[in-house]
Amino acid sequence: MNLDDLNNAQRKAVTTDNSHSLVLAGAGSGKTKVLSSRIAWLINTGQASFNEVLAVTFTNKAAREMVSRISMMLDRDMKGFWIGTFHGLCHKMLRLNWREANLIQNFQIIDMSDQLSLIKRLMKSANVNESKYSARDLQKIINSYKEKGLRSNEIDVYDSYNKYIAEFYHLYEHQCIRDGLLDFAELLLKSYDLLKNNQTIRNYYQERFKYILVDEFQDTNSLQYGWLRLLIGNSTSVFAVGDDDQSIYAFRGANIDNMSLFDKEYAKGNIVRLEQNYRSMGHILGAANSLIRYNNGRLGKKLWTQEGDGEKVLIVEKHNDLLESQWIVDEIKNIVKNGIKQDDIAVLYRSNAQSRVLEHALFLSGISYKVYGGLRFFERQEIKNVLAYLRLIVNRNDDSAWLRSVNFPIRGIGTRTIESLFEITKNKNISLYDAVAYHSGRSKNNLLMFNNIISTLEESSRKLTLVQLIEHVLEFTGINAFYKNEEETDRLDNLKELVTAATIFSGENNFSEIPASLLIDDLKENLDVSLNNNIYLEQEKITPLLSFLSHASLEAGDNQSESEQSSVQLMTVHAAKGLEFKVVFITGVEEGLFPHENSMSDNSSIEEERRLMYVAITRARKKLYITMANSRMLRGQVRYSVKSRFISEVGEGNVIFVKNKEQILPNNYLKSNSRFTSNSHQQSNKLSSGNTNFVDINGKKFVIGQNVKHKKFGDGTIIKLIGHGEESQAQISFNNCGIKTIMLGIARFE
């Protein structure tokens, strides 16, 4: 490995001998390079061996990227190297110490949709229909408690609602334990509890991991920080890398304060700033720097480049969303004509709903595009159906899996039957599988047949490899036959893809010849290691099947197969984090959309929106466009809005404004009679003559930008108008009391 291709700041970070350090790594400043080089350097100089290093990331992709970089720098066996996501590493720790963690050996991981259906099921059985909370609410509440490290018995019960939540949370905990299921947050919490409560294990890991490296530190939540704390012993050195300006995940528990907390508790001023940017041209960086200065309480950082100013950022204002999309499409055509590949172009938006208009315009123009987001491979219905059978093979008491499989394919087992089984499970505190024995009724035979399928499959699994088992399940359960009969070729293809995925997985993990459900005790003979044994022997002592199921939950896969042709990339700003493109369009940059209206009430949310805009801007390498529309269709209503405050924050010197010059177009402009997706889609033609940004109500006119004086709220400016006629509303930014949405028909103005 070679330290010469690092700049001074990078080299300083890589070779620091401070016990703890915090690296503030700006966008495009070579963060992954520094992390990988640091690990390679520690190994190369003999300061550490791989089994003494723990590296933690947020995504599997980031972990893979780091492994591949390190292997390019060093030709060494990485055995014993713990690298992965927080969840992946916690999972590993729990598999190795399942007894001490009070788990069953076959515990399974459930994803968010499994968790949601479990919660719905429990709500029904607990008769809480008229509760104030929806299943989604409860899911959010439970997860956020877990992310704060709180169990159901640790919640402060100060009123009846909290009491209800604590009770329901307890019910959910109980069911998860009985089914042997761990949700994502629970992986972290269980691992945290294990380290906290078991001194032997805590000491072992503290002594073992001399070097801990953390990526994307600004995205850690309180529990993750707590978990890291428990791993830090007297001789541990922590290297935390992050960028407070790119913290955009507060809504899922990320705590930006963890960075300054880490500085206070550990790094103690050992901060390295990576500010030289290798990605974007000067004006783009200028815009980013200018914008982010409007945030308070930053750790502070200013990006610079050696590459020159480049082109100015183009800011484009259009009358409406259709014209905005059309303009982008025309511009893309020009760019492509000038030799830029479509792969190098990204169109970003704040929320997924915005992709529709863009897709439409792209489709009509024949430009190929790819939309990121949506269902991932292992989240697909047909895949989950197969996984449910596999879960039952591992643990027949997994009620969630049993319910999913029992009537798929159809076996004549309906809701009535299931309800009566639920009664039995409640009374006897047993699983649905076991409850069948006590059931009497017309469906009894069907139920017995189903349970028989499960036990027969379990038998077979002892003799088959993982791939053979999956192929067997597809045939034996009738899943293949069902989809063939329905002529669902896409789903059949995905099932084939599942077999391929299992083949690849088996190969990568070197157990293609081991039967999928070999008794775990037999496997342990060969692979077991106790804490005192030689760590190089350490392997996950789980069967291929269990391992594959964990893999499926922890890594949901891609959402789309690779397309052969070069295509324009469409995604949310969140999804674009960590990526870069030659040309970037940031679209819909309007008050209410970006910043989003739900984030406009308090300053910390606005600051997060601003960081999101900062992330969006710093994705661009050569050319950046920021576009906005005066009106757009949203939730079936025309909404008028003004340009986002962020547009005025990017600094006049870095930008060129292109004002709307066109006349409002006649009705038939963009009129579409072609179909744009397989399910035919009628584009509504809303470009009527009323399409301006004013509203007329009871003879009074209201225009965006107009100053008004409200009887109660005082002076303010209209920033957005929604809807027509009696129903129309205005969003008004009041000088003294923030932004309020007001019904114009009712409001009293002076």
Partner DNA sequence: AAGCTTTGACTTTTT
Partner DNA sequence: GTCAAAGCTT
Catalytic residues: 31-32, 215-216, 246, 619
Specify whether the CB–CB gap between 443 and 410 falls below 8 A.
Answer: no
* Span interacting with DNA, options 96-104, 206-214, 284-292, 413-421, rule CB under 7 A: 413-421
> Is residue 130 a contact point for DNA (CB under 7 A)?
no
Torsion of CA 492, 496, 497, 501, to 10 degrees: 150
Tell me how far apart the alpha carbons of residues 624 and 617 are, in angstroms, rounded to a whole number. Answer: 7
Report the nearest approach of DNA to the CB of residue 200 (Å).
27
Going 628 to 634 to 638 to 644, the CA torsion angle's sign is: negative
> Is residue 373 a contact point for DNA (CB under 7 A)?
yes
> Is residue 339 a contact point for DNA (CB under 7 A)?
no
Site for DNA in 174-193 (CB under 7 A): 184
414 versus 653: smaller Cβ distance to DNA: 414
Site for DNA in 77-96 (CB under 7 A): 85, 87-88
> Is residue 439 a contact point for DNA (CB under 7 A)?
no
Going 322 to 323 to 328 to 334, the CA torsion angle's sign is: positive
CA distances to 311, 570, 593, 618, 654 from 646, in Å: 19, 21, 11, 14, 13
29 versus 572: smaller Cβ distance to DNA: 572
Chosen residue from 302, 416, 524, 709 binding DNA by CB under 7 A: 416
Specify whether the CB–CB gap between 654 and 283 falls below 8 A.
Answer: yes
x/- track of binding to DNA for residues 667-686 (CB under 7 A)? ------------x-xx-x--
| 690 in a labelled binding site | no
Tell me how far apart the alpha carbons of residues 520 and 197 are, in angstroms, rounded to a whole number. Answer: 26
Report the nearest approach of DNA to the CB of residue 18 (Å).
29
99 versus 442: smaller Cβ distance to DNA: 442
Ramachandran angles phi, psi of 621, nearest 5°: -95, -55
> Is residue 19 a contact point for DNA (CB under 7 A)?
no
β-bridge mates for residue 694, sequence order: 703
> Is residue 483 a contact point for DNA (CB under 7 A)?
no
- Burial class of 543 by CB neighbour count within 10 A (0 to 12, 13 to 18, 19+): buried
* Span interacting with DNA, options 492-500, 630-638, 652-660, 702-710, rule CB under 7 A: 630-638
Report the nearest approach of DNA to the CB of residue 575 (Å).
4
Using the 8-state DSSP alphabet, how is residue 744 labeled? T
Mark residue 721 as left, alpha or beta (left: phi above 0; alpha: psi -120 to 50; beta: remaining).
beta
- Tokens matching residue 567: 């295509």
* Span interacting with DNA, options 409-417, 432-440, 668-676, 690-698, rule CB under 7 A: 409-417
Tell me how far apart the alpha carbons of residues 437 and 266 are, in angstroms, rounded to a whole number. Answer: 58
Report the nearest approach of DNA to the CB of residue 738 (Å).
16
Q: What is the CA radius of gyration of the chain?
A: 28
Mark residue 713 as left, alpha or beta (left: phi above 0; alpha: psi -120 to 50; beta: remaining).
alpha
Residue with tokens 């005192």: 532
> Is residue 633 a contact point for DNA (CB under 7 A)?
yes
Q: Report whether the peptide linkage leading into residue 409 is cis, meaning its omega lies within 30 degrees of zero.
A: yes
> Is residue 417 a contact point for DNA (CB under 7 A)?
yes
> Is residue 413 a contact point for DNA (CB under 7 A)?
yes
* Span interacting with DNA, options 225-233, 349-357, 656-664, 693-701, rule CB under 7 A: 349-357
- Tokens matching residue 540: 């996950």
> Is residue 503 a contact point for DNA (CB under 7 A)?
no
> Is residue 112 a contact point for DNA (CB under 7 A)?
yes
Chosen residue from 251, 426, 485, 496 binding DNA by CB under 7 A: 251
Tell me how far apart the alpha carbons of residues 529 and 535 are, in angstroms, rounded to a whole number. Answer: 8
Ramachandran angles phi, psi of 185, nearest 5°: -65, -35
Give the angle subtended at the CA of 446 by the CAs of 440 and 452, to the nearest 5°: 105
Site for DNA in 544-563 (CB under 7 A): 554-556
Query: Could you tell me how many residues of this chain bind DNA (CB under 7 A)?
Result: 48
* Span interacting with DNA, options 56-64, 74-82, 651-659, 663-671, rule CB under 7 A: 56-64
> Is residue 61 a contact point for DNA (CB under 7 A)?
yes
Give the angle subtended at the CA of 680 by the CAs of 678 and 683, to the nearest 5°: 130
| 226 in a labelled binding site | no
> Is residue 32 a contact point for DNA (CB under 7 A)?
no
Q: Which of 683, 472, 550, 510 is nearest to 87 (CA)?
A: 550
612 versus 747: smaller Cβ distance to DNA: 612
Q: What does the binding site for DNA look like in residue numbers (CB under 7 A)? A: 58-61, 85, 87-88, 111-112, 120, 134-136, 184, 248, 251-252, 350-353, 356, 373, 407, 410, 412-417, 554-556, 571-572, 574-575, 596, 598-599, 633, 635-636, 679, 681-682, 684
Binding-site entries for ATP: 25-32
- Please give the annotated binding residues, written as ranges: 25-32
